[in-house]
Chain A
Amino acid sequence: MIRPPFPTCFLQWGIPMRERTSGRTVGGFRNVFLQGPAVTLLLLWMLVPLGMTLWFSFQRYNLINPMISGFAGWDNYTYLLTDPALWTAMGNTLLLVGWVLAISVIGGTLLAVLFQQEFFGRGIARLLVIAPFFVMPTVGALVWKNMLMHPVNGVFAWLSGLLGLPVIDWFSSMPLASIIIIVAWQWMPFALLILLTAIQSLDDDQVEAARMDGAGPLAIFWFITLPHLKRAISVVIMIEMIFLLTIFAEIFVTTSGGPGLASTNLAYFIYIRALLDFDVGGASAGGVIAIILANIVAIFLIRTVAKNLET
C-alpha cells in the first residue's frame, strides 16, 4: 500500500547540463534517456493501480450484481466511514502493528545481546534463531495453527495437559493475541539480524571504558549498547511497520478475521469487502483510506528516522 517515493530524478528534466568538480557532467537529456525506461515503468507500476483504485472508489461496482453501477460520488466513503467494522479493523491494525513491533524490537534487542556473547555452537544457534524469517508466512501460520496452538493436537495443549492446566483454544479465545504471537515469531529474527550486526560495530574500547568507570552488565547495556543501537532500532521499526500494516496471510489461514471481526485488520477488511461481499467500490474506498493511513505513518517515520540517521 506504500507508494514508492516520488522519483526525484524527474526534477532534473529540462535542467541544463551542470558540471561536477570532478569534471563529470550531470543532468541534461542523456540522463533523461538513460533513466527514462526505468522511471516510466515505475510510474506506471504505481500510478495505474492507484488511479484504478481511486476510480473504483467512486463507482458503484458489485461483482455479483451488474445492475448496481454508475458514479457513486462519496457514497462509498460515507458508507465505509460510518461502518463500525472499519474502526474495529483500524484498531486491530494498530494493535497488531504496535504489539508485534514492541515484542520483536525488545525481544530482538535482548536476543542480539545474547547472541553476541561467546558460547559453544554460536554459529548454528544464530542460524536457527534467524530461520523463522525464511519460512513463508502461510506455512509458518499453518504450523502454528495445526501443530502448536491446536486445542487438541497442539504442543501447547499437550504442555498445559501435562501441567494439569486448562487447554486454551487460542484462535477462538484470543484470536488477535494468537496472530500477534505468530507474526512476532516471524519478525523477531529480522530485528535480531539487523540489531546483531549493529551490536557488532560497537567499539570494544567503549565497553571497556565503561567497565573501568564501574558499569556492570546492566549499566553497559542501558548506557552504552542501547544508545548505540538507537539508529538500527529506528530502521527496524520503519521497515517492520511497512510490512506489518499489510499483514494478511497469517490472518487468512488461521482465524479468517474472526471470530466476528476480532482479528480483522485493514487489509483483511478490504479483502472481505472485495471478495466476500463482492463490493469492489467499497473495497477501493477502503484501499484509499489504507493508502492515506500508511502515508501518514510513513511521513512520521521517515522524519524521525531521518533525524536519527543524521550524524
Chain B
Amino acid sequence: MATLQLNNIVKDFGGTQVIKGVDLEVKDREFVVFVGPSGCGKSTLMRMIAGLESTTSGEIAIDGQRVNEVGPADRGLAMVFQSYALYPHMTVEDNMGFSLRLAKVPKAERREKVLAAARILQLEPLLDRKPRALSGGQRQRVAIGRAIVRNPSIFLFDEPLSNLDAALRVQMRIELARLHEELDATMIYVTHDQIEAMTMADKIVVLQDGVVEQIGSPMELYHHPRNRFVAGFIGSPKMNFLEVEVRGADAEGVDVALPGGDCRVPVAGDGVSAGDTLTLGIRPEHLVLDEAGPLTGRIQVIERLGGVTSLYLEHGDSEWILVADGNVAHRVHDEVRFTFDPACAHLFTADGLALAHLTRHPLADIDRKENRASSASDGR
C-alpha cells in the first residue's frame, strides 16, 4: 500500500540541471515505467526517489508524507540495481537476509522470511551458494528476492534486465509481471527498452533531457503521442516522418499534400491554415503495400524476420520504413506502391506538438490490469 507524489522535482549537479521540474503521481499498486534515451535523467530520478541522491528542490512524498529528508533505508523502499549489487562474500541466503540482520530480526524469523521469498522466486536450491556460482538470471532473481524480503511499500528497478540475454529477458519480463500481480506492490521501473516499457507498464513516463515529455498508458502513448519525440521513441521500427504542405483545414480534419495526391487526416485543425508546413508521422506497421497506393518507393534493404518483413524504402530524398507481413516476395531495388489509413497518421506542428486526433483510440484508456480477466471480478 503506497502512493508516491513528485512535486516539481529538480536535480542540479554543480550548475547543470539534470532533472528540470518533474511532477508525477504514482497510484497504489501501479507499475510505472520511466523510459527515455540514455542520459535523459531517468536513473537519477529513480535514485532521488530511493534517497541515494539528494533533491535540489521540490518535494517527494510517499503516502502523502514528505520524505526528502528521510534516509534511503527508512523510506520503505527496495531497489534492484542494474548490476544486481549482490554482496559477493555472502551466500544467497545471507544476501537476501542482510536487511533483516541489520534490523536485528531473530535468526529463525529471518530464515522464514528468506525462505518465503525464495519460494516465490524458486531460489530454494540455491540458498547456500555464493553469487559467483550463479548464472545471470539467478543473480537477477536473488537481487529481486533481496528486495522482496524487505517487504517494501514501493519496489524500484533500475534497468534490471539489461545484463541478461534476449531469451532470459523475455522470461524475466513475464516473471516480473507475475510478481507484480502476486505481491500487489507499487513498482517503479527504469528502462531504455521500450518493449519492457510497453509490456509491463500501467503507466509510462517518457523522459528527455530531464523533462517529462508525456505520461500515459502504453496504448495512449502509442496511439496519441503528445509530440514528435514521443511518437518517434515509442514504436519499433521508428515512425516515418515526412514534411507535408497543408491544403486546407476544417473541423473534420486537415488536408495535406502527398506525392501521390491529397489526403485527409482526422485531427483537430485549429490554427492550421492552407500553405502551412506540417510533419506527417505514420508508423511502419500502418503502411500497407498496395498496387494502387498513392506513395511509391524503391526498396533499399529487406529485413525478413519470418513473421514480418521490414522494407527500407527510398523515394526521392525521403526514406520510409514499411513493415509488411512475412510473405512478401519483393526483392531489393523493386519499385513498390503503398498506402495507409489516414486515421492512423499523426500530424505535428513545426514545434513538434501533435495535433489532437478527433476520435480517441478505443484501447488508449485501457490499463494493463484490465488485460487480465480476473481483475474485473475481484473489484480492484
B109 to chain A, nearest CB (A): 16
A203 to B89 CA separation, bound complex (whole angstroms): 13
- Residues in A whose Cβ lies below 8 Å from that of B79: 208-209, 212
B94 to chain A, nearest CB (A): 9
Given known A-B contacts A213-B150, A214-B73, A215-B73, A208 and B102 have beta carbons under 8 A apart: no
Q: Is the CB of B83 within 8 A of A203?
A: yes
Q: Is the CB of A210 within 8 A of B98?
A: yes
Q: Is the CB of A214 within 8 A of B102?
A: yes
B54: interface (CB < 8 Å): no
A174 to chain B, nearest CB (A): 39
Q: Which of B73, B82, B85 contacts A206 (CB 8 A)?
A: B85
Given known A-B contacts A219-B102, A223-B98, A311-B132, A211 and B87 have beta carbons under 8 A apart: no
- Residues in A whose Cβ lies below 8 Å from that of B71: 211
A128 to chain B, nearest CB (A): 28
Q: Is the CB of A208 within 8 A of B98?
A: no
Q: For chain A residues 125-144, which have a beta carbon within 8 Å of chain B?
A: none
Q: Is the CB of B102 within 8 A of A212?
A: no
A209 to B103 CA separation, bound complex (whole angstroms): 15
Q: For chain B residues 57-116, which have a beta carbon within 8 Å of chain A?
A: 71-74, 77-79, 81-89, 98-99, 102-103
Q: Is the CB of B52 within 8 A of A224?
A: no
A205: interface (CB < 8 Å): yes
- From B82, which residue of chain A is reached at the shortest CB distance? A205
A213 to B74 CA separation, bound complex (whole angstroms): 9
A203 to B131 CA separation, bound complex (whole angstroms): 15
Q: Which of B78, B81, B98, B132 contacts A205 (CB 8 A)?
A: B81
A273: interface (CB < 8 Å): no
Q: Is the CB of A213 within 8 A of B99?
A: yes
Q: Is the CB of A208 within 8 A of B103?
A: no
Categorize the interface residue count of chain A: 10 to 19
Q: Which of A203, A219, A223, A230 contacts B85 (CB 8 A)?
A: A203
A228 to B85 CA separation, bound complex (whole angstroms): 13
Q: Is the CB of A212 within 8 A of B87?
A: no
- Residues in A whose Cβ lies below 8 Å from that of B50: 212
Q: Is the CB of B89 within 8 A of A227?
A: yes
A142 to B129 CA separation, bound complex (whole angstroms): 54
Q: Is the CB of B52 within 8 A of A211?
A: yes
Q: Is the CB of B78 within 8 A of A212?
A: yes
Given known A-B contacts A224-B87, A311-B132, A209 and B102 have beta carbons under 8 A apart: no
Of the listed residues A208, A212, A219, the one surrounded by the most CB atoms of chain B closer than 10 A to its CB is: A212
B156 to chain A, nearest CB (A): 9
- Residues in A whose Cβ lies below 8 Å from that of B132: 311
Q: Which of B84, B88, B89, B98 contacts A213 (CB 8 A)?
A: B98
Q: Is the CB of B85 within 8 A of A214?
A: no
Q: Is the CB of B52 within 8 A of A208?
A: yes
Given known A-B contacts A223-B98, A230-B89, A311-B132, A212 and B73 have beta carbons under 8 A apart: yes
- Residues in B whose Cβ lies below 8 Å from that of A311: 132
- From B84, which residue of chain A is reached at the shortest CB distance? A205
Q: For chain A residues 196-232, which have a beta carbon within 8 Å of chain B?
A: 203, 205-206, 208-215, 219, 223-224, 227-228, 230
- Residues in B whose Cβ lies below 8 Å from that of A215: 73, 98, 102
- From B89, which residue of chain A is reached at the shortest CB distance? A227
A311 to B146 CA separation, bound complex (whole angstroms): 23
With A213-B73, A213-B98, A214-B103 known, 16 other A-B pairs at CB within 8 A are A205-B84, A205-B85, A206-B85, A208-B72, A208-B81, A209-B146, A211-B52, A211-B73, A212-B52, A212-B72, A212-B78, A212-B99, A214-B99, A219-B102, A227-B87, A228-B88
* B contact set with A: CB distance below 8 Å: 50, 52, 71-74, 77-79, 81-89, 98-99, 102-103, 132, 146, 150
* A contact set with B: CB distance below 8 Å: 203, 205-206, 208-215, 219, 223-224, 227-228, 230, 311
Q: Could you jot down 22 A-B contacts, CB within 8 Å?
A: A205-B85, A208-B52, A209-B86, A210-B98, A211-B71, A211-B72, A211-B73, A212-B50, A212-B52, A212-B72, A212-B78, A213-B73, A213-B98, A213-B102, A214-B74, A214-B99, A214-B102, A214-B103, A219-B102, A223-B87, A224-B87, A227-B88
